[in-house]
A = this chain, B = another copy of it.
Amino acid sequence: MALKSFIEVDDESHFPIQNLPYGVFKPQPSSSPRPGVAIGDFVLDLSQISSAGLFDGPLLKNSNVFNQPNLNKFISLGRPVWKEARATIQKLLSATEPTLRDNAALRQKSLLPVSSVELLLPVVVGDYTDFFSSLHHTKNCGLIFRGPQNPVLENWYHLPIAYHGRASSVVISGTDIIRPRGQAHPSGGSPPYFGPSLKLDFELEMATVVGPGNELGKPVDINNAEDHIFGLVLLNDWSARDIQAWEYIPLGPFLGKNFGTTISPWIVTLEALEPFACEAPKQDPPPLPYLTEKESKNYDISLEVHIKPAEHENSSVVTRSSLKHLYWTLTQQLAHHTINGCNLRPGDLLGTGTISGPEPEARGCLLELTWNGQNSLSLNGLDRKFLEDGDEVTLTGYCKGNGYTIGFGNCSGKIVPPAP
């Protein structure tokens, strides 16, 4: 029988005692931010648990990592500390443990309805990198922009392609996304023009949250890369396809991407995801030795994208994919990122790139779903080629366990027009 908490957790909840994802929140608008863990519809205030002396393991006793405004210090400490924290929290929340269950005063202080708190970015993001690691996404983009001759470029099969994104505009789920303005250049003879993007898109992604970093000049070995991964979040790499198309040659995406990137508030740890590990796709050609791992694994995380137009009460599902489709693994991405000596820091985000599956219904962005606006998508009767003002896009992700669900909650943002 599955482990249970003394807190009532619905079977469909993303946050049973098997999950215990970390976030940062403010109980009141005037409170200081502090780390918390999601349990059912509640958040456990780790600063209170810490102040009560309940982190009593050898590594976290007397530590101030949970009296910080972000998770960077905690996640910098590495897996032995994470395992100790998880064991402590899981025990405290379990149905059979009286310490918290039977202490009404402490429960009152430390268990808050998540609906009553403000969730914040869980980490200070030093650098945000975005990979391009789904073969299906890559192939579809190649077919759309270059045709059937050679949709996947040669280098793609040899290394996990990536670009540096913008750290300053990473925002938490629920933040409105202001439609960007910029230059675009329609094909044909007319000159470039300036205006609000007409091809605003989402990208269904997840991201690695880096735990311990590495020193400049000291690459992380592929077989140690997992030790540098604290956990995963959902990530929406909002993209303005018209701005991107005009600007990106030869130095890559810039203003077409850096106006906003939304992440989900809860970081789900690799410990919670371990039961859902699966074999990664076979790589052909085989990667170079520095990218060859003893065990090549993905996680089978079901992913969905929902869009709710302003005119509708309910959202429509527009795609269903899975992280298991990723060609380059999270550990290959991380090891590759450091192979030249580049230093990662705790809290860095490594986006996976758009996660498309093999089926047309599993395409991870509107560019693919509408084939760059050639087709329309029907949202319960409303047509969409790209996002309209008022559209609310929600990514969600979960793994179905035996009698429980490990989920990521929502990663949402609503499109609003730019100020005139």
Contact = CB atoms under 8 A, between A and B. Distances in A.
A12 B305 CA distance: 63
Given A163-B163, A247-B161, A288-B183, A168 B344 contact: yes
A216 B155 contact: no
A49 to B, nearest CB: 31
Interface in A173-218: 178, 180-183, 185, 191-194, 197, 213, 216-218
Contacts of A248: 250-252
A216 B340 contact: no
A191 B129 CA distance: 27
A162 B251 contact: yes
A384 to B, nearest CB: 22
A126 interface: yes
A93 interface: no
A389 interface: no
Contacts of A192: 155, 158-159, 288
Interface stretch (A27-35, A78-86, A228-236, A253-261): A253-261
B255 A252 contact: no
Nearest to A162: B254
A112 B75 CA distance: 39
A341 B259 contact: yes
A181 B336 CA distance: 11
A166 interface: yes
20 contacts: A126-B168, A127-B166, A127-B168, A155-B185, A161-B254, A162-B254, A164-B164, A164-B166, A164-B258, A168-B342, A168-B348, A183-B288, A194-B290, A240-B340, A243-B340, A252-B252, A252-B253, A255-B336, A258-B340, A341-B418
Given A167-B167, A182-B340, A341-B418, 14 more contacts: A153-B249, A153-B250, A155-B246, A155-B249, A159-B247, A163-B252, A168-B342, A168-B345, A169-B343, A178-B217, A197-B340, A216-B260, A248-B252, A260-B341
